[in-house]
Each structure stands twice: as structure tokens, then as C-alpha cells.
Amino acid sequence: MTVTDAQTAAVLGGPGQLLADEDVVAFIHEQLAGAGLDGRSVCVIVPDATRSCPLPLLLRAVHDAVTGRVSRLTVLVALGTHAEMSAEELRIHLGGEYAVLNHEWWKPETFVELGTISADKVAEISGGLLHESVPVRLNRAVVEHDVALVVGPVFPHEVVGFSGGNKYFFPGVAGQEVIDLSHWLGALITSADIIGTPGITPVRALINEAAALIPAEKLALSVVAQSGTNALHAVAFGDTASSWRAAAAVSAETHVRYLDEPVRRVVSLMPPRYQDIWTAAKGFYKVEPIVADGGEVILYAPHVTQLAAMHPEIEQIGYHCRDYFLGQWEKFRDLHWGVLAHSTHLRGAGTWDPLTGERCRVTVTLATAIPEPVVRTANLNYLNPATFDLPTYESDPNTLVLPNAGEILHRLR
């Protein structure tokens, strides 16, 4: 059944429901028919392959709903700072041939500057954690269309609370400045404290402030996917704020698993959509809250050969807790804050002081194809994937084994 909330988001489905494809398609056609798109150009912003949802179904429904009505339709892949997708990868990912652009974040000509968020505003949003002005740059394809239509999933997220909505603009198709500032703000709050937090977190507020500068009309088809399948629990349509809010409410009831007590060890079996540790680290983010002090998280990803394909500097910086960087800020402040944030998110909670050094709450072990010297130099523990014994871990009462890790958040009651 379709319902409408007070903030104009139309919602199909809900927690515990699984939607039929034909109902999803009919809902999308119905919503876009009344969205005032006739004669206008539309930029459809979609996730890359690190996010799971039935994107071919959704994109085909959008395409069929607006063909002959809009003046131009362009698909833009929100890479953030992930690796470029090849033409064949895009064809498979999107489910067909479209006028499609990668977000070429490595090219300065990709961007237009929309304005600046003042240092005082950043301080207000961050509760005083940061006092830095930030220029807001965005992929010009968004600005050069009348309508920006976000199509993608909502999951608990380590930087912003819940993904989706305006996050597809920032960091999805944004310049480095907002990416760095927003991710470092999340790191200062810490992943464990912000992940799965409902409502407008400080990072979400910063993203919304940047999105307010976008001249295009901002709409969204926000979906809540059943993790590990192509099924959908819910679809919400409206502006990027109301659509996200409705989907995040469903995700909070769908993508969070509660445990009664902490576990000593978690083994996260990482699916192939995560091609490096930069993305596979979600297998740690989503379980850190349930691991006992002194416990361990093993990321089993034998297909992964690199820490970060697009950010090799992480091999030199390594993985450290937040206080390691804050305690030596003059040494690290001129590096990309987004890289520092990724480092803290994977290493988790810990302390540092000049005398005793760094002490992290949880051991992080990689069972991957990354060479052992690289892993250990990066301040992580190493396990040879060839000797990884899954049945032994599965039979251990102190170990929780998670297939298809990286999407479901685990918390203590």
C-alpha cells in the first residue's frame, strides 16, 4: 500500500515486507508521472557497485517512466573517491545501455564551485569540533540539469548515520574539500558513536548545508534492500530530505541486529563487491559495537589484493585510532582528512600518548591476498587466507561468523 507522510514522501512497503518487482515499477511510474518532469533535463545519480540494490530494475523503471517526456536523461555514477567503472562494468551494473558518466573526481574540470560554507557555520554544525570554512564543489553534470534524481539504497553508515539522500551528492559526486571535512567530522565523533544514529547527525547537517547550494531540483527514490538479495523492503519518493528520512526509518528496523552480550571474535566474510580494504572495511564498522574489549575482528576477503586502490598513501599512514592522529596533529593535518578518517574507522576505539603509545580496543586481522609485510606495516594483524579454517570458527561459541558482511549493523541491546 502507498502512503504519504507529512513531509510529502510517498512510501511503498515497510519493515518485514518484500515488494514484488511489478509493484515497484508501478510505484516509480506513478510517482514520476506526477513529479513535474515534462520538458526538463534529468540527471540520475546512482551508486557504484559497492552498494547493493536492484539497480537495473530501478533504472529501467525510471527510464521507461520518463522517456519521451524529459528533454535529456543522464546517469551519473556516484563514485565518491572509488575506482572508475569500465564500460562493461557499467553495462552490467546498470543493466543496460544508458547515457552514463563516471564521477571523474580525479579531474579538476569535473567540478563547478557552488559557494562556501563559513567556518562559523561549520563550527555551529559540528558543535565546535571543527572551525574551518569549506568550498563546495560538485560534479558539473548535476548543475547542468534541471532535476537531480537520486536513485539508491539506504543503510546504516559509519560517517553520516544512515546513507542515502543528499549523501549521493556529498561525498558521492563532490569535490575533495567537503569529502575530507565531512569524513573527518565523522571520525572525530567516531564511527561507533555515529553509525546507525537516526535523524540529522552533525555530518548529515553538514551535507544538507552543502546540498542547499545545488541549483537543480533535488528528488530521490530511496530504497531499502534486503541484504544479500535483490529484493526490496520499501521504496520512498520525494525530495532528497523526506525520501531519505522515510527510508532511513525502515532501514533502522531492517538493517540493525541486536545482541544481548558482546562477543570475543567476529569473522566478517566479505562479498566480492568490496574490492579493497577501503570498501571492505565495512565488515569492521558494522560489528565494532558488539566486540568485547580485547576482542578481534577478522575480515576474510581472499579476493582483496590492496588496502586502497585509489588511496595508496594509507600504506604509509597505516591504521590508527583517532587519538593517535589528534595527539600528533601537526604531523598529520596536511594529509587528506578523508584518508585519516578511513584509518580511524577501521582501527576503531583506542588511546594514544607519547609515553605509552597507541592502545586499540579491538584487534583487526586481515585474511586477504594483501602481502603480510604490507598488512603488518599498516598496523593490522595478518592471517594467511590459505590456512583460514571456517568450520573451526563456526563451531567456536565465542565467535560470530557473518556471511555477506558489510551492510547489517550489529549492536548491543
Q: pLDDT for 307-358, tens place per residue?
A: 998 899 999 999 999 999 999 999 999 999 999 999 999 999 999 999 999 9
φ and ψ at 410, to 5 degrees?
A: -110, 130
Helix (H) or strand (E) holding 75: strand 72-78
Given a cut of 80, is residue 2 above it in pLDDT? Answer: no
Q: What is the pLDDT of residue 9?
A: 94
- Residues 252 and 404: their CA atoms lie apart, in Å, by 18
Q: What is the pLDDT of residue 79?
A: 87
Q: Work out the average pLDDT over 173-180.
A: 94
Q: What pTM did the predictor assign?
A: 0.93
Tell whether 242 and 283 lie within a shared domain.
no
Residue 167 belongs to domain with CATH number: 3.40.50.11440
Specify whether 84 is located in the same domain as 137: yes
Q: Is 98 in the same domain as 237?
A: yes
Domain end residue (candidates: 234, 254, 274): 254
List of long-range contacts for 349-358, beta carbons under 8 Å, 24+ apart: 349/190, 349/192, 349/288, 349/321, 350/320, 350/321, 350/322, 350/323, 350/324, 351/321, 351/323, 352/320, 352/321, 352/323, 352/324, 352/326, 352/327, 352/328, 353/327, 354/327, 358/320, 358/321, 358/323, 358/324
Model pLDDT, residue 6: 39
pLDDT tier for residue 8 given thresholds of 50, 70 and 90: confident
Instruction: Report whether pLDDT(4) > 90.
Output: no
CB of 299 closer than 8 Å to CB of 276 = no
Distance between CA atoms of residues 259 and 263, nearest Å: 9
Is 234 in the same domain as 306? no
**Residue 342 to residue 310: CA distance in whole angstroms:** 13
Residue 410, pLDDT above cutoff 70: yes
Among 191, 226, 254, which residue terminates a domain?
254
* In a shared domain, residues 237 and 338: no
385 and 330: one domain? yes
Spacing of C-alpha 241 from chain mean position: 17
The tens digit of pLDDT for each residue in 63-98 reads: 999 999 999 999 999 988 878 889 999 899 889 889
User: Quick one: 21 and 134 in the same domain?
Assistant: yes
Task: For residues 153 and 249, state if they share a domain.
Answer: yes
Overall number of domains in the chain:
2
Q: Exposed, middle or buried, 355 (CB in 10 Å: 0-12/13-18/19+)?
A: exposed
Decide if pLDDT at 3 tops 50: no
Query: What is the average per-residue pLDDT within 41-57?
Result: 91
Q: Does residue 279 share a domain with residue 176? A: no
Q: What residue ranges in 332-404 does DSSP mark as E strands?
A: 350-353, 357-360, 363-368, 381-382, 399-402
Query: In this structure, what CATH number is given to the domain that contains residue 273?
Result: 3.90.226.30
> Phi then psi for 180, rounded to 5 degrees?
-60, -45
Asked whether the predicted pLDDT for residue 120 surpasses 80, the reply is: yes
d(CA 324, CA 356): 11
Query: Which of 214, 233, 254 finishes a domain?
Result: 254
> Which residues lie below 8 Å from residue 338, measured CB to CB, with a gap of 6+?
81, 171, 176, 179, 180, 183, 184
What average pLDDT does the segment 262-280 reach?
A: 96
Together in a domain, 348 and 408: yes
Examine the domain organization and report whether 262 and 339 are in the same domain: yes
What share of the chain has pLDDT > 90, as a percent?
Answer: 90
**Both 35 and 156 in a single domain?**
yes
Which structural domain, as residue segments, surrounds residue 270? 258-412
Alpha carbon of 152 to those of 51, 143, 219, 271, 404: distances in Å? Answer: 8, 20, 12, 19, 19
- Give the pLDDT score at 7: 61
